[in-house]
Structures are given as structure tokens and as C-alpha cells.
Structure 1
């Protein structure tokens, strides 16, 4: 970048600063770069604009920690610059209240200039920092351009530092840890209940994780009916394994009465407990229980299969 001398106030700039100390507001709006050459007869205090303005610089940040000084930061980019130019001039622009924008301060680098190429020669965006003397009693604001996409390394470092210094920076993460801890306690308490099914039911109705668990179990095909004639389907996580049981009165196969298992499935194995003595045997065919001997004989049937 060009090496600029200290900024010189224009007459308009001095007047605006005085008025800003008397109930008016001075707002810094932008900067400009130009290629103008100073002559011996030029009076900077009477300038209203650069001698040859070429590029407008939006303000991207401000440091007002010193009441007597503003540090304005500009980013320069040639992405929209149609024609390259020699950068000799810099001007800081401001307005009073809702008035027109005017040249507040000016500097010229003379022979210590820089060349900024056109958009046809892409270049890295540069950061330009300007110090401005102000008054602690003046009402001053700065117009920051929020549309600037370019982020400087120092911006990131400052944001990280600010974030880490904040008392509430990691509050969300801590809340998540608390939720996980609460969930752990919830599981321990509910698994201490009578059965796993009772615990799952309690989780489904008593916690945020339970609702999630319920959705996962439903999606995987897990279902159950704990009753006299019931079943447990373990879902796709366990190959759609089904355990079923029946307490029924077996009927003679020839009579044509048969008891259907609660769920239709392929039966891999079964066990039958025949209550009392009776001739013949009890069997399962096509998911139905038959007694080849005595009618109305109570039996317990446990069948293992899959959907």
C-alpha cells in the first residue's frame, strides 16, 4: 500500500467536528482512494473531494476504545475496478446528521504511491487502517458496511478471543451435557423398575429421549403385546424375530376348529405343554394349534419364528 502522511482536516471536517460537540451527530461513512497529484498552490483545507477519485472504500470495523481517537478499518478490493490506477490520495468522508457526505480529512502519498490493477488482474484484498483524532465530547457514529464478505485473519482471532472470554460462550454445550447426564439418571432409575418393557414404556412417556426411542423402535418394527395370548417382535435389529405364546383349548383336527397364533409368521420352533392327560398329541400347522386326540384340552404353546 501507499505510504500516506498524517491526515489533514478540511474546513468542512473541522466545522462538522465542532457541530458534533453541540448536539449534532457526526457519522463517518466511507473512504476513497485517488490518483491526484498535489501542487504547491493546493490548499487541502478547501478540498471537498479527492482531486482524482478512483475507488470507494467501505468501513468494515471501528475501534473507539480511545475517546480522543477513532481507528477506522477499510478493506480494498479491485473486483469491480474497470481501470487500474496509481493510488496517491486517500480521503475520509463523513456527514452531519442527515446531511450530505463531505470530505472530512485528506492525505497524499506523493511519490510513495502504490499501483492498484483493474479487475482483469485479480489481487488479494488489502486492509487499510486509519487513525482519526476526534473529541471525547463529540457525538460520533460510524457507518459499518455489513455486506462485506471478506474476513481478515485478525477478525477471526478477535471473534475467537471474544467468544472464549464470554461467560455464556459455552452455555449451550453445558446444557447438552446436563441433558445427557439427566438422561443417564433417567435410564438408571427406570431400569430399576419391574421389567425392561415397563422401563421402555416409562421412558417413552417420561423423557425427551424416550420419545426418540419410541420413534426408533417403531421404525425398526419393534412391537409387543403382553397378554394371555401375546407376542414380542424384536424388529429388524434382530432379524424380525418373533416370540409368541398361547393359552388355549385345543380342538380335534377333524372337527375343524383351530387356534390362530397372535401374529402370522414363519414358525421355526415351538414347545407345547399339554395340561392333564389326553390321548394323541398337539401340533402346529400353518400357524394353528391342533389336538389330534381329546377335544377342549387346555394347552400352553410357545412359538419362535419371524415375519
Structure 2
């Protein structure tokens, strides 16, 4: 499926079916999959609410829902960004100004919503869904933007990295990365951007001017967003390798072969990483690359695991259950599937 999605992306389309996206906030796991969005109690695995009341098969979801105070924001595979009441699942507003699919989760700022779309645009909205400005790229944007106080950093399938002023206008700088960016963009507290590309590289650049600091060559194509923690950059590739890279010089400190393609960014607990792969493995890793435990669920894991204070939630494609939850010791605590209506 990953290969077919890649080929369709290169030809300008997106042929894959919906993939589940999950986000944890407080004691709730929010999941979007197929034509439904649901809120699941994180302690019990019980469904709190589901949206919509009547399913429309023409509306499907891919991006993980994002919580903005009391509203839940999620884009669909048509052109609509939905705002739901996070407590009840009631529709509040919708932005329909895009022309393509939402692959990336929205980025929520104190006074704005950044919505990247496969129609080659970034849409900047106010918190009520009204368009402020938009920026056009040369190809679709699948990666969630990152920001600092003054700029929005946007990377897409056009191989370009853009530094956009918060108020809109021309980019402060643009960098040709040499490879398309699927999901991979991160920014650390020192103002360094880390970008993973389909050219099998992770690239570090200074956010202030786009100056390249280093490039790391992986064995395979990288879709996953890098995770930056404790002076290291962690990322997996489509060969199944998962790397720990020194953030200062771009040298590999260690690598682990997970045995199947790693599509998603790793989840983070306070002291560990949670890596998932295409064959359904959930791998709990220390920051030095030691495997603490591995569990395998039925299904393919293409979405990043969502981590709460005590729970790890993974969303499975083509499995017996949509969501499976574990504690930090690897014990399965519950499983969830949307009940049939």
C-alpha cells in the first residue's frame, strides 16, 4: 500500500484508501478513520461520541484530529476542514476553501490555524475558520508546518522548504532539498530545522537563514517526521531501519532493524520512544537504541502512535481492531472498533 501511495503521489494523485489518525489529549483518544471521527475514553476504551450521525461514504479521513481548546479540527479527503465540539462531537464550522485533500494535520497557533493541503496551498485561518491568507507551492503539501515566533516553515512534494512570514507575503528564504517531503519536518529549541526526504536523507538547516548544517544518508526513502530529543534526531525509513542521529553533526549513533517499513514518526514517552512498522510491531525503545519490549497487533501501522500520561494508543489498518492501547510496560489495556450502526 505504501508503494502504491508513493507511485500515485508522483503522478499527482492519491489513490490510497483512508488511513486512521489518532491523537491523545487528557483522558480522550480522538480517532478519524473511514467516514467517521470518534472520541474514546483513554482509561476504558469506551466510545464517548462519534461523528457524523449519518455516515457519508464520500467523506473519508486521513489526517489525525487536532485539539484546539474545546474544538477538534480534522480535514477530510474531499476539501473540507471540520471543526467539532470536542466534548460532544457536534459540528461547529467548516472551511471549504481548499480544492484538495488534507493529508497533514493542522497546526494550531495561539491566534491562527495552519492548514496544508494537497492542492498546493497552505491556508492560514483565524480560530473561527475564516481565511486570512494563503500561499501556493509547486506541488501538494503533506507535511504539517512548524513555526517559531516569526516564521512558518513549510515543506512539500515540490522539494522546497519555505520560510514564510507569519503575516503572509513572500518567503524570507527558500531551500531546494533535492527530494520531496512527505511528513518530515521538525524544529528544535535552538532554531534548527530537521527535514526528512524521499531522497533518503535527513537534512539539518538553520531556521533563520536556511543554511545547511549537515545531511544524513539513510538506507531507504524516508517518509517519517524526525523526532528530536536529548541531542539526537530519531527517524525510520522504508527499509525498516530506525536511526538515532547526533543532532550536532548528523552522524548515526545507532540503528535498529525493525523488520518492516517505518512510515510514521515515533511516539515519545518521558524517557523512551515508541516505534511502529508496517507489519504491526509496536517497539518500545530507549534513547540509546535498546529494545525494552515488542508487541505485535493485527494490522498495518502507518500512523504515529499517540502517547498519553499512562497509555500508548496505536491505530491499525486492515486489522481486527481500529485502536489498541498499551501501558508503558507493554501490557494491552483495551482495544476499540467503531460499533456497527
Q: TM-score, normalised by structure 2?
A: 0.18
Q: TM-score, normalised by structure 1?
A: 0.19
Compare CA radii of gyration and give the structure with the larger one: 1
Higher relative contact order (CA closer than 8 Å, sequence separation 6+): 1
- Structure with the higher strand share, 1 or 2: 2
